[in-house]
Amino acid sequence: MKHVNIRKPVLCFALALAASHVCFADTISVDSSINAQVQNQTKHQDGLSSKTTPSTVSCPSDFKQVKISDDARQCQAFDESMTAVMIYHSPVSPSEMLSFYQAAHPSLKAHSPISGRTLLTSENKALRVIISPDKTGSQVDILVTSNSK
């Protein structure tokens, strides 16, 4: 039997097909499947974001019966079944903010500052207020646990 070299004819045939724009495989509708994936992921993220992302609200005058400074800005509220958290910024200094909370809630105990942060707590520890220095004033974090909600 004679050995036949078929490389050259196959190469010529493939080049001829490529030149004539013939395709060996079916095309895949990639665009629609990517759109479906993006829409599915967006729905999934929307569901997650409502549980994990805080809602930025206009600052209330109080949060769970805790007074909020009148100049509070960028309020973010987290409210879960066991705890509620409010975070906000104020242009006043941390010492002024400490005076504000001591006047508004005299029962809160002020602890010694650690790294510039002052912790105020209620007797049963159900309410905690943390006052931190910020570049433009103070950041205030309020944590209310289910004991006082």
| pTM score | 0.56
pLDDT at 17: 47
- For the chain, the DSSP string reads ------HHHHHHHHHHHHHTT--SS----HHHHHHHHHHHHHHHHHHHHHHHSPEEEPPPSEETTEE--TT-EEEEEEE-SSEEEEEEEESS-HHHHHHHHHHH-TTPEEPPPBTTBEEEE-TTSSEEEEEEEETTEEEEEEEEETTT-
Whether the pLDDT of residue 24 is over 60: the answer is no
In this predicted model, which residue has the larger pLDDT, 111 or 38?
Answer: 111
Residue extents of the structural domains in the chain = 52-145
Q: What percentage of the chain reaches a pLDDT higher than 70?
A: 58
Whether the pLDDT of residue 49 is over 70: the answer is no
- At residue 132 the predicted structure's pLDDT band, cuts being 50, 70 and 90, is very high
